[in-house]
Amino acid sequence: MGIVSFWFIVLTAVTVILYDLPYFRRYGRYILLAASLIFYISFSPAGLLVLIPDALAAWAVGIRVQKLKDSQNADNYEAVQKVKLRYTLGNAALNILLLFLFNYCGGMAAFVNEKLGTGLWTAVGLFVTVGISYFSLKLVSYTADVYGGVIEAEKDPLNVILYAVFFLSIMQGPFDRYGKLMPQITDAKKRKLTYSSVKAAVIRIMYGYIKKMCIADQIGLIATHVFTRYEEYHGLAILTGIAAFAVRLYADFSGYMDIVCGIGQLMGIEIAENFRQPFFSRNMTEFWGRWHITLGAWLKDYVFYPLQRTGLFTKWSKAISRKTKNKLLRKAPAFTAEFIVWLLIGLWHGSGFNYIFGVGILQFIYIFTGTLLKPFSDKLRAFLHIGGKSVFLRIVQGMKCTLLMCFAWVFFNSASFENALAMFCNIFNDAFSAEQFTEIFTNNGYYPFIDVTDPLKVIGNWNVWLMYILVCIFVMFIVDILHERGQSVVEAVMRRPYPIRLAFYMLLIFSLIVFGSYGGTYNASDFIYYRF
Amino acid sequence: MSKKTIKHILKAAAFITVFCILFLGLQQILVPKYRSDGTLNTSDFFQLEENSIDVLLLGSSQIVCGVDTPRLKQYYGISAFNFCTSGQFPEIEEYYLKEALKTQSPRLVICDVSSVFMPFEKLANKQAMTYFYTTMPFDRYKLESLYNVSNGDPGTVFMYTFPLFLFSSRWKELSTDDLTFYTKYKFYTVNGFLRRDIKTPVTLAFVEEADGEIYELSDRMKDSLNRISEICDENGMELLFLKIPSDEWTRNDSRVLNEFMTENGMEFLDLSDKITEMGLDTEHDFFEPTHLNLYGAAKVSDYLGEIIEENLN
């Protein structure tokens, strides 16, 4: 039951209606729990054997830590603090172990077996636990927040289970914090639902589906085609494939977020935003504050800052501060902590080195280099008399961030690190020509050894299709510009007379029907971040 | 009722109206306008005057190419129509028969049996389904047929009931013809007959006395044939099952079907056995191994015309 499926729409509609009916107001969390369990079971019923015990363990740890906290006084403060920390770290270790077992163990064992000829267990026969990359980290954040006094421990275990399995964030996030999400569900008075918010929510959901089905899935055909057959392409073709993947990833992921946030809005629940016009970033640090926001925030709050507060890092900071006045060297502990965070982000995406490098180490290199070069770039701007608010500068900065991420995403989307490198080599092993671009569409070859027709055949008249894609990218860009300027397209439309609003609704509906990718050729449930 | 409520009702009505108009309009534009496979026969059928045909022909493209209905009219005074589509098999013939009886009262129904030994999954493929259903009107017969042919799959029923969803991706291939097609002509075929002027020598298994493998009629196929027979009985129509000569049809096919027809009191005419009588020439009367050209169709139609004339009069 993917999010782009008839049964998901039925499940959501029923859930929203029941949840919003005043009569069922006090059963809201049970309705959401039932819907979440149904949604989860449709993917991975066996996964509940991991999720529910894991959630119960986190709940139990939270209760224990809360009891310890309540018994803390000036006399036993340190001792109790240590015990609390042990419980919290124990829960974190449990979740890391589960993540390792279900996500990484098999791949790593297969790698070791291949290189060293060993016979390690490659997790064959182990059932799939969908969403473990998300619920495990959410449960760690729950116990960490109880430990840190951010929230009180939850007395009702069902609430913790709901938090872990919540159907709007189990598949692709966001990493909502317990203290922000659950009070909206458990306390009916906290729900913010109005007629206007419902209309805005429906439009947002539709926009999300349009981004997913009309843009991501369409342009994804090119991206997948070029990435899987990169040996046959050169120059402009590869660059086109890379650009297509960047658009696809953004439209796919942000489209999903629009859908889940919109559904949350329909129930008066504010889901954490995960995107904020990332391609308008001035630098890579800002980019990661605008892209997959909640993952970065999670690692910052639960890895980066705690690491910096450890005895080791504290002593190191003090030692360096004593020994040198060099600003950069004094930041060494912070950079080290940041490197560890990026390593973890890369690892979270996958155990392959292409992930660890592409969305891990490379990002750290970008940010570190950016910090290093900042004084020089400031001087250069001053020399060229380019003000900080210059539109030209914003465009250049945005393009720079986009290009850097496109480069990184080649590793993210390639089957391996070596494949990514080979792909880059293919860009330059032939002189650039326009035919390299058109070849993607006209080279209707076949997949050797695989008895399927070329998916690109669904594109048909590629000239028209290409114009359509360019229009879509332009529209997404304009919408993002408006959002960046604090303007809401939805609010602007809602203020117009009904005929204009009606035309807008019809445009959304029929864009989805006519341009949406569905039917036998497409796998509409194939969101990119489902695989994590 | 308050002004606000009335306003809401009007807005809702406007929404539904505009949606329906746009939906149906886009559907008309995006559904493909097939030309050579007999889909247009279905459109033309619904343009006929009520109760204007004596003979209704149902079946696949073998009938479309094999029975010269204008010739039947011209030389035998028989009004006939090939209400056929490519790959039409008995379950679809049954559906088409029900649709036809809404506006016509033929005295004779002729049903093609060329596909009775083919596996159902092959017959009910996506392409064939688009031919069967996209130009047919929305009514309970269509829903029933879709439900049965898709084995109760709601997705399939939905997609073929609202073919806009099936053909939405054609937006990339639209031409001016898609916008003006239905405004150009009233009829696109002449009584559902498709003239083919190409001559291709063929070898007919039946003529070569190849017995071929013995296939069994599936229960599903038998049920369809029986239901067609029941419908004709209920409506007081004569029924004739017909096989147009084609390359793959063998004597065993003919024998097995003949046995079934005889057991169930149905009339079956296998024209493969009448090739000499009809003067059919395998060198000149086919445009491809499974379809007659207009010369072959003329001979078949003359043969049929005499039989029909004799039996109806």
pLDDT digit string, tens, across residues B131-148:
889 888 899 999 999 999
DSSP state of A275: B
- CB spacing of B26 vs A464 below 8 angstroms: no
Least confident of A37-46, A352-361, B170-179: B170-179
pLDDT digit string, tens, across residues A80-132:
889 999 999 999 999 999 988 888 877 777 777 877 887 777 766 677 788 99
Question: Closest to B18 (Cβ–Cβ): which among A460, A502, A516?
Answer: A502
Determine whether B120 is exposed, middle or buried from the number of CB atoms within 10 Å of its CB (0-12, 13-18, 19+): middle
The CA-atom distances, in angstroms, between A35 and each of A4, A42, A514, A530 are: 16, 11, 30, 19
- CB spacing of B14 vs A509 below 8 angstroms: no
Per the CB < 8 A criterion, the answer to whether B133 and B75 are in contact is: no
Per-residue pLDDT at A46 exceeds 80:
yes
Mean predicted confidence (pLDDT) in A202-231: 91
SS (H, E, C) A298-341: HHHHHHHHHHHHCHHHHHHHHHHHHHCCCHHHHCHHHHHHHHHH
Per-residue pLDDT at A521 exceeds 60:
no
Q: What's the pLDDT band for A138 if we cut at 50, 70, 90? A: very high
- CB spacing of B168 vs A505 below 8 angstroms: no
Q: What is the pLDDT at residue B283?
A: 92
- Nearest partner of B90 among B242, B286, B206, B211, judged by Cα: B242
Residue of B nearest to A514 (CA): B168
Q: What is the pLDDT at residue A278?
A: 94
pLDDT digit string, tens, across residues B189-200:
788 898 888 999
Count contacts between A and B (CB, < 8 Å): 50
Q: What is the pLDDT at residue A8?
A: 92
Partner A contacted by B26 (CB < 8 A): yes
Tell me the pLDDT of chain A averaged across its residues: 87
- CB spacing of A510 vs B165 below 8 angstroms: no
Question: How many Å lie between the alpha carbon of A190 and the closest alpha carbon of chain B?
Answer: 28
Return phi, psi of residue B55, to 5°.
Answer: -130, 130
Q: What is the pLDDT at residue A30?
A: 94
pLDDT digit string, tens, across residues A430-471:
777 777 777 777 664 433 333 344 555 556 677 888 889 999
DSSP state of A283: S
Q: What's the pLDDT band for A144 if we cut at 50, 70, 90? A: very high
Partner A contacted by B14 (CB < 8 A): yes
Per-residue pLDDT at B207 exceeds 90:
no
Task: From chain A, pick out residues whose CB is under 8 angstroms from the CB of B27.
Answer: none
Q: What is the pLDDT at residue B37?
A: 54
In DSSP terms, B58 is beta-bridged to B83, B111
Instruction: Please identify among residues 153-172 of chain B the ones whose CB lies closer than 8 Å to any CB of chain A.
Output: 155, 159, 164-166, 168-172
Tokens found for residue A15: 């859930």
Domains of chain B: 33-126+182-312 (3.40.50.1110)
Using CA atoms, how far apart are residues A221 and A244, in angstroms rounded to an integer? 9
Per-residue pLDDT at A362 exceeds 70:
yes
- CB spacing of A468 vs B26 below 8 angstroms: no
Mean predicted confidence (pLDDT) in A157-182: 93
- A-interface mutation test, from B7, B150, B172, B174, most A Cβ less than 10 A away: B172
Partner B contacted by A461 (CB < 8 A): yes
Using CA atoms, how far apart are residues A372 and A163, in angstroms rounded to an integer? 41
Partner A contacted by B24 (CB < 8 A): no
pLDDT digit string, tens, across residues B103-113:
999 999 999 99
Q: Within 13 A of A331's CA, how many CA atoms are on the CB side?
A: 9
Tokens found for residue B263: 């057991």
Using CA atoms, how far apart are residues B40 and B60, in angstroms rounded to an integer? 13
- CB spacing of B155 vs A6 below 8 angstroms: yes
Q: What is the pLDDT at residue A194?
A: 82
Instruction: Please identify among residues 76-135 of chain B the ones whose CB lies closer than 8 Å to any CB of chain A.
Output: 126
Mean predicted confidence (pLDDT) in A264-273: 92
pLDDT digit string, tens, across residues B242-256:
999 998 888 889 999
- CB spacing of B14 vs A502 below 8 angstroms: yes
Per-residue pLDDT at A508 exceeds 50:
yes
- CB spacing of A459 vs B22 below 8 angstroms: no
- CB spacing of B169 vs A458 below 8 angstroms: yes
Q: What is the pLDDT at residue A519?
A: 58
Question: How many Å lie between the alpha carbon of B11 and the closest alpha carbon of chain A?
Answer: 8
In DSSP terms, B243 is beta-bridged to B270
pTM: 0.84
Q: What is the ipTM of this complex?
A: 0.80
Q: What is the pLDDT at residue A446?
A: 39
- Nearest partner of B227 among B61, B58, B67, judged by Cα: B58
Partner A contacted by B178 (CB < 8 A): no
Q: What's the pLDDT band for B39 if we cut at 50, 70, 90? A: low
Task: From chain A, pick out residues whose CB is under 8 angstroms from the CB of B26.
Answer: 510, 513-514
Mean predicted confidence (pLDDT) in A486-495: 87
Per the CB < 8 A criterion, the answer to whether A162 and A186 are in contact is: no
The rounded Cα B177 to chain-centroid distance in angstroms is: 24
Mean predicted confidence (pLDDT) in A68-79: 86
Using CA atoms, how far apart are residues B298 and B308, in angstroms rounded to an integer? 15
Q: What is the pLDDT at residue A387?
A: 74
Pick from A228-232, B254-258, B298-302 the range whose average pLDDT is largest: B298-302
